[in-house]
Amino acid sequence: MKFGGTSLADMERIRHSARHIKREVDAGHQVAVVVSAMAGTTNQLVKWCEEASPMHDAREYDAVVSTGEQVSAGLLAIILQGMDISARSFSGWQVPIKTSDVHGAARIEDIDASDLNIRLNENQVCVVTGFQGISPNNRVTTLGRGGSDTSAVALAAAVKADRCDIYTDVDGVYTADPRIAPKAQRLERISFEEMLEMASLGAKVLQTRSVELAMAHGVRLAVRSSFADPDGPQSDSKNTNFGVPGTLVCDEDEIVEKQIVSGVTLVKAEAKITIRSVKDKPGVAAAVFGALAKEQIVVDMIVQNISDDGRQTDITFTVPDSEYDKAMAAVSNNEGRFEYESIKGAKGSAKISVIGVGMRSHAGVASSMFNALAEKGINIQLITTSEIKTSVLIEEEYAELAVRALHTYYGLDKKEG
Ligand code: ADP
Ligand code: ASP
Ligand code: MG
């Protein structure tokens, strides 16, 4: 059972979440819990690091930002003990959760669950800090924002859990962020592949890496609400999800009613950079993106035009707004690795994506996306597609409007009444 920040925001919420744990313990289950920091805590810790120095050492950043989870794990253990439940908290290093040494974005490499397994067999609830682990050099690492989801799935795989339930402030995965599209509907089930695309294209309800891990290890993943009545009915409306109210993330062949489009997502704060008139010859793209890779800049969309004369072409790509200055500098001062006529760019775009496994077999999904945007007078700057998604880059100020328009256009809106 994993509880996110809003589910642990204050003592009352922690007590409420603890009642969900008590229900499962009373039902005779062995329970390992993964916690996030209390809502807002990690943001504050990150801010302090930035105030201390914008160029702070990543190892010290991890030493600071990992602390939020230790507070919530301890508090939850205390509250569980007060409910006569045997409980013990664990920091990442105590489990231990071994990770790579990429501070701020570490990957879990191994979890030694032998101690946890002994305790679980003694019916002790093990409350483990999410988001953190320990590097080969014995330093605390963190897994990237939203990383507690990944901790939970990795731990579920390590203890061979029957299920990994992600408790959050929504009661499942929706066809779009319900905060943006009030007519979004909860999905009873979603395939790993679609969830992977949705997460990486902006649906922050699950961290992308957690979905990847669940898919690789066959972890049964459910997204459910911690705000629901802990003693309320424990089955979904259609009672298909093994008694789990919420959304089940599962293999595609476990989904009977397949939709063509399952979801619409958005990512804001994307910057677009265009390099005009680079030579149209082998090695130029390698030089451009090599210069960016050298600075550890992750590039998202890439478009290279066909050249008119076979000699010159333009390359456009996107990076997060936060990487814009660094990316402009990397391609401008490229130490003569490639020549160009001019470089221009701007921050403030948004990427809107439409996702669905049905796209594999249905034509026209992309063209109807462009129609829907045209009807609203929204201009498309860039387009990329993959087998199960189409993404467009548009002006940021139209992002929410575009999500709602596409949601309606694909017939995903909740029926009235
Ligand atoms: P937690 O603190 O529990 O990890 P997060 O804030 O990380 O919670 O994720 C939950 C939030 O994800 C929801 O409040 C919701 O606004 C947002 N969200 C974005 N896209 C979706 C979606 N498609 N379905 C459900 N929630 C979504
Ligand atoms: N507390 C961390 C964050 O805010 C990890 C998480 O919540 O999943 O990013
Ligand atoms: Mg989260």
pLDDT per residue as tens digits for the range 323-372: 999 999 999 988 888 999 999 999 999 999 999 998 988 888 899 999 99
CA atoms within 13 A on the CB side of 163: 17
Whether 81 is in a domain gets the answer: yes
Q: What ranges in 175-235 are assigned the alpha helix state H?
A: 192-200, 208-217
Digit-by-digit pLDDT tens for the chain (417 residues) are: 999 999 999 999 999 999 999 999 999 999 999 999 999 999 999 999 999 998 899 999 999 999 999 999 999 999 999 999 999 999 999 999 999 999 999 999 999 999 999 999 999 999 999 999 999 999 999 999 999 999 999 999 999 999 999 999 999 999 999 999 999 999 999 999 999 999 999 999 999 999 999 999 999 999 999 999 999 877 655 555 666 789 999 999 998 877 889 999 999 999 999 999 998 888 999 999 999 999 989 999 999 887 777 789 999 999 999 999 999 999 998 888 899 999 999 999 999 999 999 898 888 889 999 999 999 999 999 999 999 999 999 999 999 999 999 999 999 999 876
Q: Are residues 238 and 349 in the same domain?
A: no
Q: Whose CA is nearest to atom 9 of ligand 2?
A: 145
What is the count of structural domains for the chain?
Answer: 2
Do 206 and 302 lie in one domain? The reply is no
Query: 111 and 197 share a domain?
Result: yes
> Could you tell me if residue 415 is inside a domain?
no
Asked whether residue 241 falls in the same domain as residue 267, the answer is no
Give the Å distance between the CA of 389 and the centre of ligand 2: 27
The answer to whether residues 275 and 351 belong to one domain is: yes
- Sign of the C-alpha dihedral, residues 226, 229, 234, 240? negative
Question: Alpha carbon of 401 to those of 201, 269, 366, 371, 393: distances in Å?
Answer: 17, 16, 18, 14, 14
Partners of 390 in beta bridges? 354, 385
Is residue 108 domain-resident?
yes
Residues 223 and 277 in one domain: no
Residues 173 and 304 in one domain: no
Instruction: Say yes or no: 323 and 357 in one domain.
Output: yes
Q: Could you give the CA distance from residue 166 to residue 149 in angstroms, rounded to a whole number?
A: 7
Domain of residue 267 covers 263-409
Q: Locate the DSSP E strands across 92-246.
A: 97-99, 108-111, 125-129, 132-134, 140-142, 164-168, 189-191, 221-225
Regarding whether 217 and 322 lie in a shared domain, the answer is no
Domain boundary among 205, 235, 254: 254
pLDDT digits (tens, 9 = 90+) for 24-66: 999 999 999 999 999 999 999 999 999 999 889 999 999 999 9
Cite the DSSP H helix spans in 230-364: 284-294, 324-332
How far is the C-alpha of 28 from the C-alpha of 412, rounded, in Å?
Answer: 39
Q: Is the CB of 36 under 6 A from ligand 2?
A: yes
Tell me whether residue 96 is in a domain: yes
Alpha-helical regions (H) of 314-357: 324-332
Is residue 345 in some structural domain? Answer: yes
Which residues are CB-contacts of 111 (< 8 A; sequence separation ≥ 6)? Answer: 95, 96, 97, 98, 154, 155, 157, 158
pTM higher than 0.85 for the full model? yes
Last residue in a domain, options 200, 226, 254: 254
Looking at the structure, tell me whether residues 317 and 193 fall in a common domain: no
Ligand 1 atom closest to Cα of residue 175: 23
What is the rounded CA–CA span in Å between residue 153 and residue 166?
A: 9
Residues near ligand 1 (Cβ within 6 A): 4-7, 36, 146, 168-170, 173-174, 176-177, 179, 203-205, 263
CB of 133 sitting under 6 A from ligand 2:
no
The CATH number of whichever domain residue 79 belongs to comes to: 3.40.1160.10
Quick one: tokens of 411?
Answer: 């017939």
